[in-house]
Structure formats: C-alpha cells, structure tokens
Structure 1
Amino acid sequence: MRILLLNLTRFGDLLQSQPALAELAGQGHEIGVACLENFAGAAALLPEARAILPLPGGRLLAGLSGDWHAALAAVADFTDRTIRDFAPEAVVNLTPALAARLLARRLCGEAVRGFGLDPLGYRHESSPWATFLEASSASRGVSPFNVVDLFRKAAGVGVGPGRFALARPLRQALDAAGDRLAGAAPAETAFFVGFQLGASAAARQWPVAAFAEVGDRLWERFRAVPVLLGAPGERELGARYGELAGGPFVNLIGATDLPTLAAVVCRIQLLVSNDTGTLHLAAGLDVPSVAIFLATAQPFDTGPYREGCLCLEPDMPCHPCPFGRSCPNANACLTTIGPQTVFEAVAAFLESGVFPTGAYPGARAWLSTLDARGFMDMRSLSGHDAEPRAVWLRLLRRVLRQFLDEEAFTGPGPELFSLPETRRKAVLTLLGQSAELLWLLEGQAGLSVKNQAMKSRFLAGWDRLSALWTASPELGVLGRLWMQEAQQAPPDLPGLIARIRRYGECIAALAACLGHA
C-alpha cells in the first residue's frame, strides 16, 4: 500500500515521525512524505521516504492576504500533483490543525490515520492515541509519553520498541564537515562538542554565559572545542558567546543547511542543547546529548528518543511551567542549573561513557531509557524518582497505556505508587468525585433521550466533570482528552454509555493504584 505521511509542523516534529515511518515501511508499505516546503531538506533525512512532496506553506499564507482564489488554486494544484505522482492509498496525518485535516480528506477520503474529518465534517481521530496526542499538547506537564511514541501510536503502529534512525550523511559530506571543523579550530584540538544555544522561546534558553563557561572548561580540561549550532535567526546568540568565551570555538550558527548540519552533528562527541530540533536530529543520528529543559519544556514528552541521553530540568516545584501563563518567579529556572553541574556531567561522560548516578546541584537529572513495553522512559539519576510528580507520571503511564490501547485494566500489580499522605487523600477525593459524576452521567444518558429536564441535568453534569478535571493538576490531561472526544461526531447512545463507562474504569484503576500504596 502507498501511504502518505502528512506532517505540516516543525523541523523536530518532522524528524521525530521517522520511527513511525520505519514501522510502516517494515510492514511492506511504500512511504511518501508531505511537509512544509522549508523543511523538505529535513524530510530527506527520513530513509523510508520514497517520495517527498513539499507544500509551499509560506506562499499560500502570503497568497491569502491577496487573492484567496489563487491560494486555493495552489492547494488544489498540490493535491492534484500528489494524487497524480504518488497516488496515496492512505494518509497518516500527524497534524491536528483543521487545514491538515481538510487536506488529508481531500487526498484520501476516509482512509486517514491520525487526524481527519468524517463525511459530515466533524473532527475524527482514528484511535484514542491520536486524540490523546492533541489533548496532551496543552497539558504536557502531566503527559507521561514521549511524542515519538504518540506519533507511532497515532499512525497505527507502536508495537514493541521504537527505533529512531535518520539517514546518515554520505562519506563526502562527513569528510567535508570534518575538514571544515578542523580548519576552524586550533591544531591541538582533541575533539568537538556541539552547543545549541537557541530554543523556540527566550524563556527556554539556558544562558549564553553558562554555555561559554562550560565551553572554556572543556577546552582547559580536554582540549575539546565547542561548535555553535543554530538557525540564522540565532546569530546574535553566537555573537554574545564570542564576547564571553575565553577559549576557542567554531561558530556555525546560520552557516549550514540541513544536510550539512547533519554531517557536522555526526562529527561531534556530544551535544549540549536546549529542547530544540537539533537535539532530535542528534538523537536520530545516534549522537549522545545533555539536554536542558526550562520553562514549559520537560523531558518526559519531548526528550531525545535515544537511550543513554541526559536530561536536566530545574529542581523547582513550579517546573514545568503551565502553557499560556507568565512566570511569577522572574524566570528563575534559567539560572537554577549552573554551568558547574552541566560541566561535571559532560566531563564524567567524556571520561567514562556514562552519566553517573548522584547529585546534580540545582537539577533533576533523568536518563533516557526504554521501558518494558518499548516506550521511551526516563530514569532518575539524582534520586527524584520518589517525588510526587514522578510518581504520578509513572502511575498515569501505567493506567493510560491500558486505557488508550483499549485493554482490560490489570490492577495495581506489585509496583507501589506512594504520594505524601495529604496529597494522596486529596487525589483519592478527586477520583471519588469523578467516579460519582461518571456514575450519574451513565444513568442519566439513557433518560436524557426522552426527557428534556434530564437532558439538561446530563449536560450540566458533563460540564461539571469537564471543569473538575481541567482544573486539576493531576487529571488535566484526562480532562482535555474528555473534551476532545466530545468534539467528535456524537456516538449513538450505546456508544456514549460505553465511553462514559470506560472513563469510569480508568478512574477506578487510578484509585486502585493509589489505594494499593
């Protein structure tokens, strides 16, 4: 079967769809990739892609500000060419935006995995995993799954371990990258370490001064030269680094296209990075990393999809920040993780090949690892596994995996999920309130069909449950999933009751795990 992957998002997200493509190709399917035109170079790093179909997104948006008829004609031309040149028999759409859903339906009708539309124009997801992928994007502080695994599941695969393997640059490109680095570094250079200074927002960027201090110490101790990586819009960060650094460095910010960037990344021993596309490029090229997660970024969902990488986040009770709110602490997390902590971690890895267990001052340190069922997970190196947030994420990971896979809940098992008693009681109270509301909704659903007063009570109960969950730090992601499913075409009455009952089983499973503790 010819399957077209539709991913109209960012550089890193496009790269992270590769494990899903690998599984689809492993099933014998022929794969094409439709992406934004400016990321066509990144799509070339996806070894399974037999066709790359770039969509001129920038020109389409510009056209809408002028003659929208021309913009619409351009979209029609893109879909006609895609159907003519690749003739997809199914689309895997990993972009939840309405425009992408419309495009997927235009290309393949109802043969869409991930995000689509039904014949009446209602939003439709092919599985609970796809619905969760969109719901969790607004509640990542309590999302326990790496986005790569969510992509895999939304694509209809994700059975067993995932493997992130981008296309390796050709030998000629690797040699050219090596010569370029050697020509820009001192003769006594031993090796190179990559620095990604930029991020999607200033609040997610570790200070340039901290990078510069780490770089200088790497030169003093190892004769390792930092290589500054980044997009043209981050050149100012490179200039700032040059003002602060005392040791040598190679500045390639804005000076590489994507294939060249990939070749350079293959020539470094280690990448020190904020949470950006370069981090995921390194993971797909099997290059180890030290990743720093600040503000809204956290390693459990957007950490590198490669075993043995170190993820550092501020050891602060407010981290990660919720989306859409200004920081009440003047972005204190930017300086909580100091350069000494990062340098010692990098030095230990360069000397031994592993990141050690122990203290990471100012940081919660996590090592990326695969769990027993093949999903990417995080293991604490700094003794934070027993903290309430980590415990709750582990509990959600267990129960939501069964919930989204539509498996029978297996009970708490031998694992203990221990929260501080005050918080445990508060969460059990929340779960009890949720169970009661779900029981009422299940009973009212059938009566609401014929009784207008009962219908009003049913809708009021529905709203109460939605408000209860979305206001909860623990169940916020479940609340958004509940609301996302409610926006799909309404099921028949038996389907609605089955859905309510299934949520009741999920709540009961969460309560059983906490009660077991």
Structure 2
Amino acid sequence: MSAKRPILILQMQRMGDLILSYPLLLWLARQYPGHPLFVAAEEIFYKPLMRISPKATYVPWTGVNILRQQHFELVINLSIREEAARLAHDLRAEARLGPTQTPDGVRFVHGPWQLYRTSLVGNNRFNRFHWADLNAMDAIPAKAMATTRFDPPRTLPPDTGRVGLFLGASEPGKRPSAAFWADLVRELLGRGLRPVLFGGPAEKDLGRQVMALSKAPALNLCGTLGLDEFGAVGQSLALLVTPDTGPMHLAAWTGLKCLNLSMGHVNPWETGPYPPGHLVLRADMDCAHGCWQCTRDRLHCHAPFAPARIAVLAARVAAGDKPDKLARLTLPGLTLSSTARRHGLFALHRLDPDAPDAQRLVSRFWQAFFLWRLGGRAEPAALAAWNELAGSAPEAANALLTHIPEMGRQLKHGLRTGALLSDTFWTCSPAVARPLAGYVQMALANGCHSRTAWAEALELLEALISVSG
C-alpha cells in the first residue's frame, strides 16, 4: 500500500497566528487520517512551542526548498507574505487553499472562506468569524467542527492568589500604558492578590518602568522566560490579565484562564482567546467594533480601562465567580464577554442584559448570510437574522435595502461591459452593505472579472434580495 501524500500548512506569521492554526492541525489529522502534516513556519516561534503543538513536522523557512521534493495532497497558505504565495503556487499539490502567486506576479486566492478573509482588510466592522475558524472552514466539514469540544480553562483553588500581567503587545496601541499597569499592580495587592509581571525581551524596559512607578513588591519576570517556560509557569496562576498578543493565545491554549483587555485596533471576534471560558473586556463605543486601524485623534478606547475596575473584576475571576455573577459588576464604558462556541464556531457571549443594538444585529445577519451562501448552512437562519434586524434596527435594515438597487445597477453594468462603474464600489457603499460589497469586489478581481465571476456576484445579490424582500 502506497504512503498517503502529506498536507502542508504555510504559516509565516507571528506566534499568535501559529497557535491559532493548532485547531486546524487537529481537524486535519482527523479528516485526513494517515496523511503526514507539515508546517512551514518561523523557527523562532515554532521551536519553543513544540511541546504544546499538535503532531506535525515543522520546517523552517530557511529550509523550505526540501518541500519542493514532495507531492502534497493539500497545501494551505495562511500567510500574507509574498514568498509564501509564490511557494504555494510552485509546489506540487492535488489541491490548494489560500493565496498563490505566479512567477509573473498574478495572485489568486483559493477557497471562498480564504477569499472572505482577504476581503476583511480594512473592512471587518461586522465580521463575526475568528481567524482560527477561517483557517479551517474551506478544508474541514462544518459537522466536524461542530462536534469538536475544547476544554474550558482550569480553575485553581481560590486561595492561589497569583495573577499574571502580560505587559506587551505587537504595537503600543494594543496594550495599556506603564502607568496603567503600575496602578493595577497596587490595586491587585490591595485585594490580597500577588501580581506577576510577564513579557518578552522587548518588555524588559516596560517591566522596569512598571516596578518603578508602582513602588510595590510585585514579581517581575519580564525578559527572563522563554515561551515554553512561560507556559509552564502559567500553570500556577489563577488568571492572566493580558492584551491581545501571542502569549495570550499560548496561555489560553494551555488552559490558563485569560482576561483579555481588548483595546486598540483589534477585533476580539477575530483574535480573542479561542477556547471557550475566557473573558474579553472591550470599550463600549461604536468605533471599537471591528477596528482595523484607528483614525481618531487619540485612542479613546483606552480611557474606560480604569485599573480599579479591572482589579475588582480580576479578583472576582480569581475567586472563582461564574459568568452570571460577573455580569452584575458595574464596568462603566466597558462590555464584558465570555468566549464560547455556537454551532461549531467561536462566539463571544456578552454578559450584560442589554438588548442587541444595530451593530450586533447587522453582524449577526452577515454571519448567517455568509454561512448560508459560502458554508452551505440552511437559509432559514439567514432569514431569521434578517427579520430580527428589520424588526429591532429598522434604520440599519432600510439603509441596506436602499443600497440594493445601486449594487444591482453596478453588477448588471459589469456583466455587460466587464467592469464596475466605479472602482470604489465597496468603499463608497454604506457601512451596513460593505461586508457583501467588499467580498463581491474581491471575488470579481479574483475571478479576473470573467462572466462567471459577474454571474456569481449577481447570485449573491439575488440571495440578499430573497431574504430581505
């Protein structure tokens, strides 16, 4: 019996992105039994994580030429880097997913969900799909994802008292200031907790600043632990308070309960702690939903994160309070959510009792719509989401309905002539229509504006008309 062809994942991004590909590895092992799994990634990231990674053969980018000797069953490119797209095109494979690029620079994205993900660049306001799920949705059947169970974070005895604070993030706008961390250290100590500062080599100076400002007896481990050591030390913590960063995903994957301070230009629906049972705190303001890049005069979303409020919440979580009890806390200007799974996909469950606003209802509709059109889910779910939107947020629904004729005019013109009336088709659409307009414009370019691509775009518009009419 001949050996089965291997499957390759190209993941050339940062540590957090690598960890968010772990669920895909687990699903591939079940969906393609006997097929060896290969991962091409940055050695600096994958090597310290080998102990927690699902079984796979890792190849450093410096050694990817050996991959050209293989014939793959499937190549999945999860990287945005040009060299990864070129490699994905060049390798021998029965099938490909994600971006590829020919030697003369022609780029093509394989797989409708990978294309959907590409369409989110600058256009993720209403997105409700997590990166870890989008990694897999073209390759793994929905039923397999729906029957997967991820363990909730462990619960330590209430008297453990050790709370980790991960200080850094990839960009300053995504993390609190040194003054915030210093105040939080003092607030935690005042509640009988023992804060421990964590960070990589880049956070050594920040750790020293926090210690100097706090003038408190916290333990500063910034720059002293490798990733594997950080994962091991995390097993002794009751909680990790952390911005959206790679070590947050490491902590969540290893079962350490996380309180994610989701601030700056991140979207917790896309990159929040993936397993169920973690907590996400986000500013309750319109611009904080689906933020891709801040365009305001300053980071207004940082202001509601008052250290005293965070310390109260952290103390209750460390004491073992359940979400229903945490929902009673008063957190002005903030929304508290718990991570969960709904119909096999990542979900954020808001703990406040407020009725869903227009933002949430529009997001729910587009999630149901794309699950119907791209994922083969039943139409009634999309219809129910539309009815909820139209009934509870009629202004948003009417804004979308009003724009449908213009979208139809543009697409019919394109079917006749091969080009849109304007290359600003999606950017000039009202916000409520941009999820579809952005996907359609990306799909047309991906299909080289062929008649088939125009016909498929019109089918999507007709589907929208059918559920909203």
Aligned AA (1:343): A
User: Residue 307 of structure 2 corresponds to which residue in structure 1?
Assistant: 339
SS at 1:49 equivalent: coil
Q: Does 1:213 align with 2:183?
A: yes
Matches of 1:36 and 1:131, distance apart in 2: 24
User: Residue 106 of structure 1 corresponds to which residue in structure 2?
Assistant: 90
The Cα of 1:502 is off from its aligned counterpart by 2.4
SS at 2:332 equivalent: coil
Q: Does 1:398 align with 2:404?
A: no
User: Residue 459 of structure 2 corresponds to which residue in structure 1?
Assistant: 502
Deviations 1:211-243 (CA, angstroms, capped at 9, x unpaired): 333333333323x32221222111121111101
The Cα of 1:431 is off from its aligned counterpart by 3.3
Deviations 1:101-159 (CA, angstroms, capped at 9, x unpaired): 11122233563222224798643333110111122143232211111111111444554
The Cα of 1:18 is off from its aligned counterpart by 0.4
CA distance 1:510–1:349, change in 2 (3 Å)? farther
User: Residue 297 of structure 1 corresponds to which residue in structure 2?
Assistant: 266
Q: Does 1:459 align with 2:465?
A: no
User: Residue 135 of structure 1 corresponds to which residue in structure 2?
Assistant: 119
Q: 1:81 aligns with which of 38, 56, 66?
A: 66
Aligned AA (1:369): A
Aligned AA (2:462): E
CA distance 1:505–1:42, change in 2 (3 Å)? farther
Matches of 1:17 and 1:254, distance apart in 2: 26
Identity among equivalent positions (%) equals 24
Q: Does 1:312 align with 2:281?
A: yes
Deviations 1:399-439 (CA, angstroms, capped at 9, x unpaired): 1211221556335238622554444432321234324544x
User: Residue 3 of structure 1 corresponds to which residue in structure 2?
Assistant: 7
The Cα of 1:195 is off from its aligned counterpart by 0.7
User: Residue 316 of structure 2 corresponds to which residue in structure 1?
Assistant: 348
CA distance 1:391–1:106, change in 2 (3 Å)? same
Matches of 1:225 and 1:507, distance apart in 2: 53
User: Residue 366 of structure 1 corresponds to which residue in structure 2?
Assistant: 337
TM-score (norm 1): 0.79
Q: Does 1:433 align with 2:406?
A: yes
Aligned residues: 450
Aligned AA (2:388): L
User: Residue 145 of structure 2 corresponds to which residue in structure 1?
Assistant: 160
Q: Does 1:259 align with 2:228?
A: yes
Matches of 1:39 and 1:165, distance apart in 2: 24
Aligned partners of 2:444 and 2:453 also within 8 Å: no
User: Residue 511 of structure 1 corresponds to which residue in structure 2?
Assistant: 468
Aligned partners of 1:24 and 1:157 also within 8 Å: no
Q: Does 1:281 align with 2:287?
A: no
SS at 1:305 equivalent: coil
CA distance 1:505–1:460, change in 2 (3 Å)? closer
Deviations 1:417-462 (CA, angstroms, capped at 9, x unpaired): 2554444432321234324544x34xx62xx4xxxxxx2xx52436
User: Residue 16 of structure 1 corresponds to which residue in structure 2?
Assistant: 20
Aligned partners of 1:143 and 1:300 also within 8 Å: yes
CA distance 1:409–1:124, change in 2 (3 Å)? farther
Aligned partners of 2:244 and 2:262 also within 8 Å: yes
SS at 1:308 equivalent: coil
Deviations 1:163-210 (CA, angstroms, capped at 9, x unpaired): 5689x9xxxxxxxxxxxxxxxxxxxx9432111111122122123333
The Cα of 1:504 is off from its aligned counterpart by 1.0
Aligned partners of 2:150 and 2:276 also within 8 Å: no
CA distance 1:117–1:464, change in 2 (3 Å)? closer
Matches of 2:388 and 2:227, distance apart in 1: 46
TM-align CA RMSD: 2.9
Of residues 6-15 and 137-146 in structure 1, the stretch that sits farther from structure 2 once superposed is 137-146
Aligned partners of 1:15 and 1:46 also within 8 Å: no
Deviations 1:39-65 (CA, angstroms, capped at 9, x unpaired): 132551453333111114xxxxxxxxx
User: Residue 487 of structure 1 corresponds to which residue in structure 2?
Assistant: 445
Aligned partners of 1:296 and 1:322 also within 8 Å: yes
Aligned AA (2:465): A
Matches of 2:396 and 2:145, distance apart in 1: 34
Bigger CA radius of gyration: 1
Matches of 2:276 and 2:345, distance apart in 1: 11
Matches of 1:436 and 1:460, distance apart in 2: 9
Give 5+ residue unaligned stretches, structure 2: none
User: Residue 182 of structure 1 corresponds to which residue in structure 2?
Assistant: none
Matches of 1:434 and 1:139, distance apart in 2: 17
Matches of 1:461 and 1:118, distance apart in 2: 29
Matches of 1:206 and 1:325, distance apart in 2: 16
Q: Does 1:123 align with 2:107?
A: yes
TM-score (norm 2): 0.87
Aligned partners of 2:89 and 2:101 also within 8 Å: yes
Q: 1:413 aligns with which of 384, 388, 391?
A: 384
SS at 2:241 equivalent: strand
